[in-house]
Amino acid sequence: MKKTSTRLADGRELIYYDLRDDTVRDAVDRRPLDRTVTTSEVRRDVLLGDSVAIASHRQGRTYHPPADECPLCPSQGDRLSEIPDSSYDAVVFENRFPSLAGDSGRCEVVCFTSDHNASFADLTEEQARLVLDAWTDRTSELSHLPSVEQVFCFENRGAEIGVTLGHPHGQIYAYPFTTPRTALTLRSVAAHKEATGGENLFDAVLERELADERVVLEGEHWVAFVPYAAHWPYEVHLYPKRRVPDLLGLDEEARSEFPKVYLELLRRFDRIFGEGEPLTPYIAAWHQAPFGALEEFEGVNRDDFALHLELFTIRRTPGKLKFLAGSESGMNVFINDIRPETAAERLREVASS
């Protein structure tokens, strides 16, 4: 992998990640852009104990442009985009309309391929490995920013999810705090560790899932399963078998196997609702240990956390979506319409030939 960092016309950072070491990236952003101005701030909810990002400047962000005006495609002739070069393998740049900025963190866009009509599932294993390396590199770099406590790499796919740009891409949020979801998990890990005299909760969960009927696919270094208490109609958790706290902890064996396992998982997601159905909308989310202090989670350190990816769709059956209504949105109590064992069986049935 070759990494080339440059700046866009408004001062934002852009980084090319190339498969070939001899690739030259010297294209200049020719757009007449003013410096990006954001109104992002983080406010604390004292009743719930969580934080909310206020980002009113995002109301003006690009919304479902036609394909020939996509800002994530390479620049071609007089059609100028966020990527100055005429081609790329993978690229990461600071979001022009960030939810978090400055002392409130940082938001980046990750473009998986220059092919506008592709999806992550269409990538080759070599391309998928490049994206994994980009996620890892950005996790490392962002973790050193003084305002950042946790790095979250994710992909939203599909209009049903709320995606406003159709080009295959994901995002990275660098939060200035430990997210509520992670904090809840760490409290459970701490309680389990104390109650069992030191046993790791992630290890216990993984051991149980490996012995159950909800395993979807398994490699030498990775395992994917539908969790016992899945929140979503089709939800799969992908774990490295050797517990590591973040992407930086993966060894070469796990990195090499990841593309094959993950691409197969994504392709199964696109087949679960049958032929002729639109591509399955999904969210793919990497959960990594915070880089900030963990004193509030007594007895827990970063190595107690287990890196894992959660992949889920809001589609519950062809033509029908799972909406977060009263119980889910009002009280955070999920009601799943599909038994996790049934979901796992379906995902095994649609394996590639």
Predicted confidence (pLDDT) per residue in 123-136, tens digit? 999 999 999 999 99
Q: What is the pLDDT of residue 247?
A: 98
Q: What is the pLDDT of residue 60?
A: 65
Q: What is the pLDDT of residue 56?
A: 81
Query: Is 353 a residue whose pLDDT tops 70?
Result: no
Predicted confidence (pLDDT) per residue in 41-73, tens digit? 999 999 999 999 998 877 667 767 898 899 999
Predicted confidence (pLDDT) per residue in 264-285, tens digit? 999 999 999 987 788 999 999 9
Residue 198 CB partners (closer than 8 Å, separation 6+): none
Q: What is the pLDDT of residue 37?
A: 77
Residue type, 209: E
Predicted confidence (pLDDT) per residue in 97-117, tens digit? 999 998 999 999 999 999 999
309-to-34, 214, 222, 230 alpha-carbon distances in Å: 37, 16, 11, 14
Q: Which one of the listed residues 169, 221, 237, 287 is annotated catalytic?
A: 169
Residue type, 45: D
CB 147 within 8 A of CB 102: yes
What percentage of the chain exceeds 90 in pLDDT?
89
H/E segment holding residue 133: helix 125-143
CB 277 within 8 A of CB 320: no
Predicted confidence (pLDDT) per residue in 80-92, tens digit? 999 999 999 999 9
Predicted confidence (pLDDT) per residue in 223-244, tens digit? 999 999 999 999 999 999 999 9
Q: Average of pLDDT values for 328-353?
A: 93
- Active site (annotated) includes residue 144: no
How many other CB atoms sit within 10 Å of the CB of residue 15?
Answer: 20
Average pLDDT, the chain: 95
Q: What is the pLDDT of residue 133?
A: 98
Going through the chain in order, the beta strands assigned E by DSSP cover 2-7, 13-18, 41-45, 50-54, 90-94, 106-111, 150-157, 169-175, 215-218, 222-225, 234-240, 282-287, 308-313, 315-317, 320-321
Q: What is the pLDDT of residue 277?
A: 80
Q: What is the pLDDT of residue 292?
A: 85
Residue 125 CB partners (closer than 8 Å, separation 6+): 259, 260, 263
